[in-house]
Amino acid sequence: MIERIGQRTLRFVGRPALLAHAAAVGRKEGAGPLGAQFDYVAENDRMGQKTWELAESELQKTAIRTALRKAGLRNGDLDCILAGDLLDQCIGSFLASMQSDVPYLGQYGACSTMAQGLALGACLVEGGAARRLVAAASSHFCSAERQYRFPLAYGGQRTPTAQWTATAAGAVVLGAADERPIRVTHALFGKMVELGVTDANNMGAAMAPAAFDTLTALLDDLHAQPRDFDCIVTGDLGHVGADILLTLLRGQGIDLSPVYSDCGSLLFGDEQDAHAGGSGCGCSAAVLCGPLLRDMAAGKLDRLVFAGTGAMMSPTSVQQGQPIAGVCHAVVLERSA
Amino acid sequence: MIERIGQRTLRFVGRPALLAHAAAVGRKEGAGPLGAQFDYVAENDRMGQKTWELAESELQKTAIRTALRKAGLRNGDLDCILAGDLLDQCIGSFLASMQSDVPYLGQYGACSTMAQGLALGACLVEGGAARRLVAAASSHFCSAERQYRFPLAYGGQRTPTAQWTATAAGAVVLGAADERPIRVTHALFGKMVELGVTDANNMGAAMAPAAFDTLTALLDDLHAQPRDFDCIVTGDLGHVGADILLTLLRGQGIDLSPVYSDCGSLLFGDEQDAHAGGSGCGCSAAVLCGPLLRDMAAGKLDRLVFAGTGAMMSPTSVQQGQPIAGVCHAVVLERSA
């Protein structure tokens, strides 16, 4: 059963369970501070494929396959796959699952896609529409860079606010309640929030107001304080966006800092030249499905808010001068003893 | 409550209601055989906008706004919008709803997006995750043509199997059961089916096997014959794909022809030079939300299977030689007396 709490929060009474999770990342991500906590680190970001798009799809396929193996399940046990990525027509995702023989529902929430899929997936499991499903998302620096910015070989300069698209993928297997300890307890679907940002090299600023909107609504609905959670993590605000979010919240008398992290800020070390931090659908997907869920499984985190952030834009919309809207979907994960 | 019937069919016990529906189309579509049954026909396909992408978003916005007006609702009454289109990063849809202040979940099912959104929306309403929501989809000949094929001014020759991307949008408002007569009773999420088609100018052939897979599974699960429905309609197989579908079904001893239609075959008249028929997310969306749902409301159709078809490909995947997979999501709509 799904209950509505307050204005916008959904509560999953049956607490859909995370049956397994897996993260697969590229070489640079594997060399970062979280490297040891991913299930798979590519030796070569080409993943043995002929194109970067196929490499991304292979990375997502690796995350899904690994999560299924960890859950002791096969494709045939799934009722559907919810997946998405940043590429035109979400090619990374549909190629990853094209031969899976599992019903497929493509999702597009920009970099918030993992959170969107996880929240929707919890609705489907809790509502009885699916017994077991996979939610997955991916991004790849090389496929994204040439699509959104410059040809790879061009070696364009990056601005200080620019973020580095993660070569990464994450997948979770969700299912109806059993003895598994990690559960999805709440979700809140985000609104697009647009405050006039048009700089595609400053996504953090475009997304922070959406994260503010979603997190204040969630805390309000739950009558909760940040301290009620062990960790509240945004998807890929990066250093710039994270600062804006903390400032906006402070203006409302909310101090998020004691429990706050951002996947984009966590993924790369300062020496890795990732400027304002990691980004891309795969950034939050891999940090959730790698280190964060490992920490939950190990009992280091009991209550986590995963607030996936996305910037609604396309190379065309930016070139046509359209503003960039942020969106942020939140999922609350809890570990039972 | 959502029950599983047979292998893959979902039954919505509470029968989510269609609170309203609306279709907005371009000039050519308005001049076709269904022209009088759309809510809005553009005088000029630019829709008063500076770019084709904004024109598409304006068309989708018009469909959503009209559906809401017909339902007597405002944006604030919605719990979410599920929308998608064919453009890179689904720009037509996110621009259409950017200022709506409604939670937004982008969908990408290629031309099956309307069916995907409608089926997912029914799951959300029935499961209690949303009280009222909009499912919408759109396409625009001018934005799609230049993205997928040639610059508009180039005037490229079209092959006989090619389809004409519809300038069209459709939107439905779904809500928990009330007195409204049209209900969503069942849905079946489609698998990607790929049989080696690589010709982006023969989408019908790429999608027909997926429609075959979905329709046989649905009829099987429901222990139904085609004649149990007043109409079984596919999204945009066009003349070529529709023939393939009928042939494949005949091979299984199923004669679909007495109740079969295809939105792509219905949309344009023979004299309109649309070759194998209409296509695009907007094609099935507008034919459903215009003529088909009007016929249901008027009591001319009582049981309808809407089987939205999509071709999973992108200009990049086709250029890289990847096969085109079809996908087909089915929704059963019934009218109560």
| Bigger pLDDT: A46 vs A151 | A46
Answer whether residue A128 shows pLDDT above 90: yes
Chain A residues closer than 8 Å to B121 by CB: none
**Residues A129, B8: C-beta atoms closer than 8 Å:** no
Q: Which pLDDT score, from 0 to 100, does residue A119 have?
A: 98
- Could you tell me which residues come within 8 angstroms of residue B59 by beta carbon, excluding any fewer than 6 positions away? B24, B25, B26, B42, B47, B92, B138, B140, B167, B168, B169, B282
pLDDT on residue A200: 86
Position A157 scores a pLDDT of: 87
pLDDT of residue B156: 83
CA A170, CA A130: separation in Å to the nearest integer? 20
Mean pLDDT, rounded, for A245-253: 98
Which structure tokens are listed for B98?
A: 């950017």
pLDDT value for B303: 98
Give pLDDT tens digits for A258-289. 999 999 999 999 999 999 999 999 999 999 99
The pLDDT of residue B150 = 87
Residue A166 · residue A282 · CB < 8 Å: yes
Q: What is the pLDDT of residues B140-191, one digit of tens each?
A: 999 999 999 888 888 888 899 999 999 999 999 999 977 899 999 999 999 9
Q: CA dihedral defined by A226, A228, A234, A237, rounded to 10 degrees?
A: 20
Whether the predicted interface score ipTM is above 0.85: yes
Q: Rounded to an integer, what distance in angstroms lies between the CA atom of residue B251 and that of residue B243?
A: 12
Query: Is the Cβ pair A317, B89 closer than 8 Å?
Result: yes
d(Cα B273, Cα B88) in Å, to the nearest integer?
27
- What pLDDT does residue B133 have? 98
Tokens of A15: 């607490």
The shortest C-alpha distance from B8 to chain A (Å) reads 8
Largest CA distance in chain B: 53
CA distance A155 to B106: 32
**SS3 for A234?**
strand
Residue with tokens 């501070």: A33
Distance from CA of A220 to the nearest CA of B (A): 17
Nearest CA in chain B to A214: B103
pLDDT at B336: 87
Q: Which alpha helices (DSSP H) does chain B contain, by range? A: 27-30, 52-71, 91-97, 113-127, 141-148, 203-221, 238-251, 263-267, 281-287, 293-297, 315-319
Please tell me which of the candidates B98, B103, B107 has its beta carbon nearest to residue A106. Answer: B107
Interface test with A, best of B13, B75, B189 (most A CBs within 10 A): B189
Rounded to the nearest angstrom, the gap between the alpha carbon of residue A294 and the centroid of all alpha carbons in its chain is 15
User: How much is the pLDDT for B271?
Assistant: 94
Beta-strand pair A40-41/A17-25: parallel
Output the pLDDT for position A276. 94
Q: Dump pLDDT digits (tens) for A158-185.
A: 899 999 999 999 999 999 977 899 999 9
Please name the residue of chain B whose CA is at the shortest distance from the CA of residue A104.
B191
What mean pLDDT comes out for the span A314-337? 94
**Predicted local confidence at residue A5, as pLDDT:** 97
pLDDT recorded at residue A178: 76
pLDDT for the residue B276: 94
Q: Please report residues of A whose CB lies closer than 8 A to that of B120.
A: 105, 120
> What span, in angstroms and rounded, lies between the C-alpha atoms of B168 and A286?
38
Cβ contact (<8 Å) for A123 and B106? no
Instruction: Supply A211's token pair.
Output: 């994260």
Assign residue A152 a region (left: φ > 0; alpha: ψ between -120 and 50; beta: otherwise).
Answer: alpha
> Which residues of chain B make contact with A4, given a CB cutoff of 8 A?
128, 131
- Give contacts of A131 with chain B, Cβ < 8 Å: 4
The rounded distance, in Å, linking the Cα atoms of B246 and B331 is 19
Contact flag A88-B314 (C-beta cutoff 8 Å) = yes
The pairing of beta strand B17-25 with beta strand B9-12: unpaired
Query: Residues of B272-297 as b/e, b for ≥16 C-beta within 10 angstroms?
Result: bebbbbbbbbbbbbbbbbbbbbbbbb
Name chain A contacts of B323, Cβ cutoff 8 Å.
98
CB atoms within 10 A of CB A273: 10
Who contacts B312 (Cβ-Cβ below 8 Å, separation ≥6)?
A: A89, A94, A98, A106, B110, B192, B324, B325, B326, B327
Per cent of chain A over pLDDT 90 is 93
Average pLDDT over residues A181-191: 98
d(CA B50, CA B163): 26
Mean pLDDT of the region A210-237: 98
What residue of B is the nearest CA neighbor of A117? B105
Q: Alpha-carbon distance B171 to A192, whole Å?
A: 19
How many alpha carbons fall within 13 Å on the CB side of residue A137?
32
φ, ψ of residue B105 in degrees (nearest 5):
-125, 100
Tell me how many degrees the CA angle A3-A212-A110 measures, rounded to the nearest 5. Answer: 85
Indicate whether A92 pLDDT > 80: yes
Per-residue model confidence as pLDDT tens for chain B (337 residues): 999 999 999 999 999 999 999 999 999 999 999 999 999 999 999 999 999 999 999 999 999 999 999 999 999 999 999 999 999 999 999 999 999 999 999 999 999 999 999 999 999 999 999 999 999 999 999 999 999 988 888 888 889 999 999 999 999 999 997 789 999 999 999 999 999 999 988 999 999 999 999 999 999 999 999 999 999 999 999 999 999 999 999 999 999 999 999 999 999 999 999 999 999 999 999 999 999 999 999 999 999 999 999 999 999 999 999 999 999 999 999 998 6
- Residues of B within 8 A of A50 (CB-CB) are 320
